Every structure is written in structure tokens, then in C-alpha cells.
């Protein structure tokens, strides 16, 4: 009854029979003018404005030598409606006797008869329907808006929705089937990450080589899909030396295709990764960090989901400082960056890709003297560009993946705002953030093979990273100015049990190491390190 609905996750019913034409007679000979159209009169419920309708139909005024050319005007108007999200409208050329060159086009409007929900085990029907407010019985939904709501709903950590349209028993209507895949919205989790000991790692000698995280998440607070997460991280080896606290809260605004989120992290160690709303928050200095983000789901382009977000963070670092070669502990410095990010992602049968670009500028915080004390020459009016790209490709039962992260800034930055190289999510085999700079990038190429014994999947990888640290006005102890790069390769394994237990291990061999800085040994070429993680959801 309708042309195909153009929205991800929405399947269209079978197409309708051809529309009736001007009459039953055959088209006129090619040389004979059938009709001269001076104006189109659109009857029925036209969702487009008068000016837009006139602009679409203007090319179809004048002489017509066939019925097909007249029907092209109806097709053009219907196509524009679909582009605007009104896929439940159809345009036909009804049987008529045109007078004075006026041709009538009729808009047929299909509405929703019934909305059925199936497959939901842990979320109520009412909750599911709140996720897709565009589905209202008796109305013709805007499928562009519906696609945006589906994209936002499928960001939820505990449920996935698919909408299918089908014929209805009600005249001039369609039924919507909302299919749900969900899991428990409330869960406890525990995680253990770490790496093998090495003689170059002075930091972990004092804080331990492993991190234990305990946490709780509820992803359906108040039956409104609000997500709340609390987590605590410590070191099993040095319980008193490592304390990291994290809290996260997000609430979707489905009617506005938007989401609001906030986080708080407190850490008494310089590096680490704390789970914040299902995404690891990479700690780049000891201190307190909190902020809020507003994310708006833009209209889809083909099968590409687009997101635009604005964030405001407060990052209070308890840094060590360097003054004329001397080190003083515990001098705080605070940045308050405002950032704007554009993100896009798309999925195909062969794989998928996603990427983002971000601009961040510090709008307030500590004064220039504090920045200069934290790092000689650092400015409190800094800005930076950041970007990331991820892609995966399915090939002969293998998943080939690449990951790229980068940052560029022309300012001298405090250590916590620099781009870090090294660690389990950067260049494996190196210490976490072993080298950092104002500019840098990291690239990972990874292949995950088919399941072997007990569903364990083999992994091969190649990591490379580079960071450039700007020259400061005065020399800084333990710091090498300029650029350094590092490369590693290795093998690993990934194993999942019943979607509850995730185990990963990577054995890295350093191909290109880092230089020694005064008082700090760099990880050399030939070094071998094992990174591992275990995560369990109760």
C-alpha cells in the first residue's frame, strides 16, 4: 500500500497496485499533445507547505504527451514527502476531466491501526512505547523522526528495538510490530584488569599491577530508561594506594531525539580506566572530574546515524609540578573545557564504521600562573582538536578491525590534557600513557579469528602511536621534548560465556620502544608484556 519506508529498522509492506489515471484510454501518439497543464490542484491531506509543493510540481507544468509524464508529477511529490519523513502518504492521479489545464493530484494518508509489542521480557509494553513516541494509533508517523527515536532507543544498554510495518485489518491503515530483545536492567558487575610486572614500571611498583572494579548499574530507573551507574576501583595488591570512584547518570528525551548525561570521577592515581555508563573513562591524572553532555540525534542519511553533542567538564588535577628542575607534589590546576562533537556511524552486512571529530576549548578554571606552575609555559586559554575512527570488516569468518585516535593542539598543555601513548587501549607492551604530547595519534590493526576451543577466538594485532611534546621555555625534569613513536605487535584471545563473562588477554612484543628520559626509563624494543582483563555481570 505504500512505497518502501526509508528508515533503519523499519520494514515496509508490499507495494500497492498502480494508481488510476486520467481515464481508460491509451496514451496519445508521441507527436500529439495530450494535455497542457497550467496548474496542479492537490487535494487530500498534504503535509508539505504550499510553496514547497509548487516548487516540486513546477517542472511538470506545460505540454504532456503521455499519461506517464503526468504520473511523474505525482511520483515527484510523493518522493519529496518521503524525503521529509511522510512515508505514510501516497500521491495518485485520480480519474478526472481536466478543465482549463488544471490537473488534480490526490494525497492518500495511511494511519497506524494497531501497535503490537513482542519479545519484551524485562521491560513493560508501556516502557517500550515511550521509547518510540512517534508510533501513535490513528496518526501517520513521521518515519524520519521514528528512525531517530529508534537510534536513540537502541543506545540503551539493556534493550534493542526493531519496528516492522504490516497490513492492517483496518481500512487505509497499517499495523506496527515493535520487536524487543532485552536483558535484566539491574545488574552488579566485577572486573579485573592488569599486566605482568616489568623492571621499567616505577609507577606500578607503588600502586600495583592490577585493578579491581566493583559496580552496580540500573538502566531503567523510574521505568523511564534512566541509567545510573556506580563503580569503585582499587588495587588488590595496594588497597590503600589506589582509590577511584565513579558515578554516571543519563536520561533519554525520546520526544526530542536527545539524551542528557552526567558523570563524576575521583582518582588518587595518575592513570587508569574507570567504567562510566558503559564507556571507559581514561584517567589522565589524579584529581576530581565531573561534567555533563547533551546529545542530539540528527536525521539519518541513508543508513548513517548522526549525533551532535555539547559537553562541559570540570577537571581538577592534583599534579606534581616542575620549577627549575625541582618537583613539588600536590599543586592543583583546574580546566573547564567546553567541547562540541560530531559523530557518525553506519552498519552494513560486511561490517561497519564510526567516527567523530571534536573541538574543545578551555573557558575558565585556574589562572595562568597555576597553569604555568603545573607545566612551564602552559596556557589557560588552550584549545584542541580531537578525532577518532573505528571500522570492522567481515572476511572469511575473521573480523578485521582498525582503530584510530588523534589530537592536535598548537598550545602548551598541562599533562592531563595531553594525548597519551601506551597501554592496553593504545600501544600494548608499554606503560599506561608512557609518553604524551600536545599532538599525537595511535593506530591499531586487529584481526579476530573464528571460534576455536570453547568459543575462544584468537587475536593478532599491530599497534603504533606517536606523540609530539612542545618545547617549554624552561627545561623540565624527566621530560623529552619533541616527538616519539612506539610500535608493538602480538597475539591474544577473546572469550565470552553466556554474555555474562568476558575474558581477554594480549601478549605484546615491542618493536619500537621509547627513549629514556632523565630519571625515567622508557620501555625498550624487545620488551614483552601480557595485558589481561576479566569482566563478569551478575
Tell me: do 50 and 22 sit in the same domain: yes
Per-residue pLDDT at 220 exceeds 60: yes
Q: How is residue 207 written as a grid cell?
A: 600502586
Domain boundary among 66, 94, 109: 109
> pLDDT band at 190, cuts 50/70/90?
very high
pLDDT at 19: 39
DSSP string for residues in 313-340 = EEEEEEEEEEETTEEEEEEEEEEEEEEE
d(CA 48, CA 79): 12
Q: How is residue 420 written as a grid cell?
A: 597519551
Contacts of 495 (CB under 8 A, 6+ apart): 454, 455, 456, 457, 501, 502, 503, 504
> pLDDT band at 320, cuts 50/70/90?
low
Contacts of 58 (CB under 8 A, 6+ apart): none
> pLDDT band at 477, cuts 50/70/90?
low
- 60 to 56, 68, 331: CA distances (angstroms): 8, 12, 73
Residue among 403, 373, 399 at smallest CA distance from 387: 403
397 in a structural domain: yes
Tell me: do 99 and 191 sit in the same domain: no
d(CA 430, CA 421): 8
CB atoms under 10 Å from CB of 7, counted, come to 27
Instruction: Pick from 105-119, 251-265, 320-334, 373-387 the range whose average pLDDT is largest.
Output: 251-265
* Residue with the three cell numbers 527515536: 149
> pLDDT band at 70, cuts 50/70/90?
confident
Tell me: do 157 and 19 sit in the same domain: no
d(CA 271, CA 420): 10
Per-residue pLDDT at 520 exceeds 80: no
Q: How is residue 305 written as a grid cell?
A: 546515524
> pLDDT band at 8, cuts 50/70/90?
very low
pLDDT at 225: 93
Q: H helices then E strands: how many in the chain?
A: 6, 29
d(CA 368, CA 526): 42
Domain boundary among 76, 109, 142: 109
> pLDDT band at 33, cuts 50/70/90?
low
Residues above pLDDT 90, as percent of the chain: 43
Whole-number mean pLDDT of the chain? 83
Per-residue pLDDT at 242 exceeds 60: yes
d(CA 216, CA 187): 6
Pairing of strands 419-421, 482-497: unpaired
**233 touches 268 (CB < 8 A):** no
Per-residue pLDDT at 107 exceeds 50: yes
Q: Per residue in 126-180, pLDDT tens?
A: 999 999 998 988 888 888 888 889 989 998 999 999 998 888 877 778 888 999 9
297 in a structural domain: no
Classify residue 520 by its DSSP letter.
Answer: B
Tell me: do 373 and 356 sit in the same domain: yes
pLDDT at 26: 45
320 in a structural domain: no
Q: How is residue 145 written as a grid cell?
A: 523522526
Per-residue pLDDT at 313 exceeds 70: yes
Per-residue pLDDT at 82 exceeds 70: yes
Tell me: do 360 and 474 sit in the same domain: yes
| Interval 525-538 mean pLDDT | 92
Residues above pLDDT 70, as percent of the chain: 84
- More confident position, 471 or 4: 471
Contacts of 238 (CB under 8 A, 6+ apart): 206, 207, 208
d(CA 212, CA 235): 6
Per-residue pLDDT at 467 exceeds 70: yes
- 349 to 352, 395, 520: CA distances (angstroms): 8, 11, 48
d(CA 375, CA 478): 12
| Interval 363-390 mean pLDDT | 85
Tell me: do 39 and 93 sit in the same domain: yes
CB atoms under 10 Å from CB of 452, counted, come to 11
pLDDT at 279: 53
Per-residue pLDDT at 88 exceeds 70: yes
304 in a structural domain: no
Q: Burial level of 454, CB count in 10 A (0-12/13-18/19+)?
A: exposed
Least confident range of 46-55, 307-316, 354-363 = 46-55
321 in a structural domain: no
Residue among 236, 288, 244, 240 at smallest CA distance from 269: 244
Per-residue pLDDT at 416 exceeds 90: no
| Interval 95-107 mean pLDDT | 88
246 in a structural domain: no
Instruction: Pick from 57-71, 167-181, 215-229 the range whose average pLDDT is largest.
Output: 215-229
338 in a structural domain: no
Q: How is residue 250 written as a grid cell?
A: 543519563
d(CA 158, CA 249): 15
| φ/ψ of residue 522, rounded to 5 | -85, 150
pLDDT at 511: 94
Per-residue pLDDT at 338 exceeds 60: yes
| φ/ψ of residue 38, rounded to 5 | -100, -20
pLDDT at 519: 56
Tell me: do 103 and 127 sit in the same domain: no
Prediction pTM value: 0.78
Q: How is residue 389 written as a grid cell?
A: 575512527
> pLDDT band at 428, cuts 50/70/90?
very high
> pLDDT band at 270, cuts 50/70/90?
low
Give me the CATH number covering residue 127: 3.10.20.310
Tell me: do 120 and 50 sit in the same domain: no
- The angle at the Cα of 75, spanning 72 to 80, to the nearest 5 degrees, equals 130
pLDDT at 13: 34
Q: Per residue in 195-212, pLDDT tens?
A: 887 765 555 666 778 889
Domain boundary among 136, 152, 182: 182
The number of C-alpha atoms within 13 Å of 162 and in the hemisphere containing its C-beta is 9
Tell me: do 201 and 133 sit in the same domain: no
pLDDT at 128: 94
d(CA 465, CA 425): 11
236 in a structural domain: yes
> pLDDT band at 11, cuts 50/70/90?
very low
> pLDDT band at 7, cuts 50/70/90?
very low
Per-residue pLDDT at 17 exceeds 80: no
Angle between helices 67-83 and 50-57 (to 10 degrees): 140
Contacts of 453 (CB under 8 A, 6+ apart): none
pLDDT at 376: 76
pLDDT at 443: 97
Range of the domain at 89: 10-109
Tell me: do 210 and 359 sit in the same domain: yes
Q: How is residue 398 written as a grid cell?
A: 575473521
d(CA 456, CA 328): 48
Residue among 444, 419, 417, 422 at smallest CA distance from 433: 422
Least confident range of 321-325, 349-353, 362-366 = 321-325
Per-residue pLDDT at 469 exceeds 50: yes
* Count of domains for the chain: 3
Give me the CATH number covering residue 482: 2.40.160
pLDDT at 10: 33
Instruction: Pick from 17-26, 279-288, 460-469 the range whose average pLDDT is largest.
Output: 460-469
Tell me: do 130 and 226 sit in the same domain: no
- The angle at the Cα of 509, spanning 503 to 514, to the nearest 5 degrees, equals 120
Tell me: do 370 and 437 sit in the same domain: yes
> pLDDT band at 299, cuts 50/70/90?
confident
Least confident range of 162-176, 215-229, 305-319, 522-536 = 162-176
Amino acid at each position: 500500500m505504500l512505497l518502501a519506508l526509508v528508515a533503519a529498522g523499519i520494514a515496509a509492506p508490499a507495494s500497492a497496485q498502480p494508481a488510476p489515471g486520467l481515464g481508460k484510454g491509451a496514451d496519445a501518439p508521441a507527436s500529439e499533445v495530450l494535455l497542457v497543464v497550467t496548474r496542479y490542484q492537490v487535494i487530500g491531506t498534504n503535509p508539505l507547505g504550499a510553496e514547497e509543493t509548487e516548487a516540486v510540481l513546477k517542472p511538470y507544468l506545460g505540454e504532456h504527451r503521455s499519461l506517464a509524464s503526468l504520473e511523474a508529477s505525482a511520483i515527484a511529490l510523493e518522493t519529496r514527502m518521503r524525503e521529509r519523513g511522510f512515508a505514510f502518504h501516497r500521491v495518485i492521479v485520480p480519474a478526472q476531466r481536466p478543465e482549463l489545464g488544471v490537473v488534480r493530484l490526490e494525497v492518500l494518508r495511511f494511519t497506524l491501526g494497531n501497535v503490537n509489542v513482542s519479545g519484551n521480557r524485562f521491560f513493560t509494553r508501556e516502557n517500550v512505547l515511550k521509547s518510540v513516541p512517534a508510533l501513535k494509533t490513528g496518526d501517520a508517523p513521521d518515519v524520519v523522526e521514528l528512525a531517530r527515536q529508534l537510534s536513540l532507543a537502541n543506545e540503551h544498554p539493556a534493550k534493542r528495538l526493531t519496528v516492522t510495518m504490516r497490513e492492517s485489518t483496518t481500512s487505509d491503515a497499517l499495523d506496527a510490530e515493535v520487536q524487543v530483545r532485552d536483558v535484566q536492567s539491574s545488574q552488579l558487575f566485577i572486573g579485573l584488569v592488569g599486566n605482568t610486572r616489568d623492571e621499567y614500571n616505577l609507577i606500578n611498583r607503588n600502586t600495583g599491577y592490577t585493578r579491581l572494579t566493583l559496580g552496580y548499574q540500573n538502566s531503567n530507573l523510574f521505568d523511564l530508561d534512566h541509567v545510573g551507574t556506580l563503580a569503585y576501583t582499587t588495587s588488590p595488591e595496594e588497597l590503600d594506594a589506589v582509590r577511584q570512584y565513579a558515578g554516571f547518570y543519563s536520561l533519554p528525551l525520546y520526544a526530542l531525539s536527545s539524551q542528557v548525561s552526567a558523570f563524576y570521577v575521583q582518582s588518587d592515581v595518575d592513570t587508569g580506566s574507570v567504567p562510566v555508563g558503559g564507556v571507559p573513562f581514561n584517567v589522565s591524572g589524579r584529581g576530581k572530574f565531573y561534567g555533563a553532555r547533551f546529545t542530539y540525534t540528527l536525521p539519518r542519511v541513508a543508513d548513517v546515524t548522526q549525533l551532535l553533542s555539547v559537553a562541559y567538564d570540570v577537571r581538577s588535577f592534583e599534579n606534581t609540578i616542575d620549577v627549575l628542575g625541582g618537583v613539588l607534589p600536590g599543586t592543583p590546576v583546574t580546566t573547564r573545557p567546553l567541547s562540541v562533537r560530531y559523530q557518525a556511524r553506519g552498519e552494513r552486512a560486511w561490517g561497519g564504521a564510526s567516527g567523530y571529530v571534536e573541538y574543545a576549548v578551555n573557558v575558565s578554571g585556574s589562572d595562568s600562573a597555576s597553569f604555568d606552575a603545573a607545566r612551564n609555559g602552559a596556557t589557560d586559554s588552550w584549545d584542541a582538536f580531537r578525532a577518532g575512527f573505528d571500522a570492522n570488516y567481515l572476511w572469511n569468518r575473521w573480523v578485521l578491525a582498525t582503530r584510530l585516535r588523534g589530537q592536535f593542539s598548537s598550545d602548551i598543555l598541562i599533562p592531563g590534557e595531553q594525548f597519551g601513548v601506551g597501554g592496553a587501549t593504545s600501544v600494548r607492551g608499554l606503560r599506561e600513557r608512557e609518553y604524551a604530547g600536545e599532538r599525537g595519534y595511535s593506530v591499531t590493526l586487529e584481526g579476530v579469528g573464528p571460534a576455536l576451543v570453547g568459543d575462544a577466538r584468537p587475536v593478532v594485532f599491530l599497534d603504533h602511536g606517536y606523540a609530539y611534546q612542545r618545547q617549554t621555555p624552561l627545561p623540565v625534569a624527566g621530560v623529552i621534548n619533541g616527538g616519539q613513536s612506539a610500535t608493538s605487535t602480538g597475539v591474544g584471545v577473546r572469550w565470552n560465556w553466556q554474555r555474562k563473562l568476558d575474558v581477554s588477554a594480549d601478549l605484546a612484543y615491542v618493536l619500537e620502544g621509547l627513549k629514556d628520559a632523565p630519571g625515567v626509563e622508557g620501555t625498550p624494543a624487545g620488551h614483552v608484556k601480557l595485558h589481561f582483563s576479566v569482566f563478569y555481570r551478575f
